[in-house]
Amino acid sequence: MNRSPSSAVAPDDRRTPRVLVVGAGPTGLVAALLLADLGVASTVVDRRCSPHRLPRAVHLDDECVRILQSAGVAEGFAAISRAAAGLRLLDGRLRPFAVFTRDGVAGRHGWPESNVFDQPELEELLLAEAARRPLVTVRSGTELVDVFPAGRVTVRDIADGSLDHLEFDAVLGCDGAGSTVRTTLGSRSRDLGFTERWFVVDVRCARRIATWGGVDQICDPRRPATFLALPADRYRWEFRMDRDETADDLVARIDSLTAPWRPDVATDDLEVLRAAEYVFRARIATRWREGRVLLLGDAAHLTPPFIGQGLGSGLRDAHNLAWKLAAVLHGEVPPALENRMLDSYQQERAPQVEAMIRGAVRVGRAMTGGQDVAAAIRGPLTRSLLRVPGVRARASRGIVTRYPAGAQVDPRRDRRDLTGTVCPQPVVTLDGRSVRLDEALGCGHVLLTDGPVPVTLLARARLLRARVVQIGPGDGEVVLADGGPLRAWLRDGGCAAVLLRPDRVVLASAPRPPN
């Protein structure tokens, strides 16, 4: 981690809002970078004195890489990650019975649909970007002691024990499962009914272990397991632990546990980076906000890893909240509407996160068979269902963000309406250049049009100072010469125009006139 005193906002600078971000993991750093782009200064504190060197999260989907793009690090992420080929479900003898492939090309958000990476490298990338931002300061070796809803905090220097009493305009708790911010708020965690102990082994290997390029999930209730190859020379195994097993028991058995995947690679070629017990939980905080103190990422929710959305959920939190908080802190939201704006964060994210967690629990139980007496029946039934094309198609779909109607999402006119969904990001032609859509849209609200815009929607767009982006010939501030995929998306949704929020969620839409 780094200290950047030269980039800190002066204490007497009243023009720039200041936010304390607790936790310098990916969620906290992305939140700080997004806020910086919106003119909000952040001080990021973390009790660690250096980045966490052990691998943890290993997967992000295309929507989450798009969020990294908004934070300015997507190209760097592409250099340290690789597109995964998909998921195979195997029986206890490592025989595949279902395969869900990804082709590695850009998905609807402009990046590969499945990406594997090493979290320490991502954190280094984010820290380097933070060091380049004048509005971001990172203080390592600093822990939060207390926080109050008004923004007053006490932090302690780990090295010398000295205390600082500071004031911020808002506090973001991105400090993980054992969140000090959540504890201080008195927010309880609701258990969604899943707790399992797993043994995780991360290794480097001097010799290449043959893989198909995707993730292997062993659906054997006797010993469910996961195997995947990470970038460069790194590999990961995860094994569910029996009730009476300890991590030490399994450390002694790493050779036999991993041997089926590496028949031509000797144990001596493996360098074990980590071999430890992890408890996979499904929980969600009952309250994500008090005043301007808010919870994000693992501080707000925990999910089993079976659909690879743990870190991605935190990045979606940051993307949803950053522009709302910035609007409040810049005085763009009337004081009477501040609570409504900030409440919309949990109102939108919590149902999405809970559905995702419950989906991960269902997938996990189906894949691993569970630990109950019905496991022997559930496994064969799952394998049979996954041979049905319609079921396979549903299982292959990625996470789809759709927020409910509320303060920042209009009610849907019908099932096709696009409100609450995320606009796709195709490559478009702008001034003769091929660019990803978000580069053409810029920051802030956008009115994206492919037809007549009702006066009421145009008036809303003007109030929000939305940039007008026209698909094809027109008089918009920005004209996209090649917007075929966007036009198709609008037409499939029955829309002539959409008003996009800064996080590219559709706030409102105008119906397409009948032909």
Rounded CA separation 2/167 (Å) = 22
Domain boundaries, the chain: 5-77+118-188+284-362, 427-511
- Highest mean pLDDT among 124-133, 179-188, 355-364 belongs to 124-133
Confidence of residue 104 (pLDDT cuts 50, 70, 90): confident
- For 214-242, the pLDDT digits (tens) are 999 998 888 999 999 999 899 999 999 99
- 194 vs 360: CA distance, rounded Å: 10
Tokens of 457: 């929607």
Average pLDDT, the chain: 88
- The whole-number pLDDT of residue 393 equals 45
Backbone torsions φ then ψ of 25, nearest 5 degrees = -80, -175
427-511: same fold as 5-77+118-188+284-362?
A: no
| Neighbouring-strand partners of residue 216 | 88, 227
* CATH number of the 427-511 domain: 3.40.30.120
pLDDT at residue 380 in the model: 54
Task: Please state the CATH superfamily assignment of the domain spanning residues 5-77+118-188+284-362 in this structure.
Answer: FAD/NAD(P)-binding domain (3.50.50.60)
pLDDT at 285 over 70: yes
What does the alpha-carbon distance between residue 286 and residue 141 come to, in Å, rounded to a whole number?
30
Q: How far apart are CA 514 and CA 2, in angstroms?
A: 58
Does the pLDDT at position 147 exceed 50? yes
pLDDT in tens, 486-498: 999 999 999 999 9
Tally of CB atoms within 10 A around 273: 16
The answer to whether the beta carbons of residues 134 and 1 sit under 8 Å apart is no
Specify the pLDDT at position 1.
43
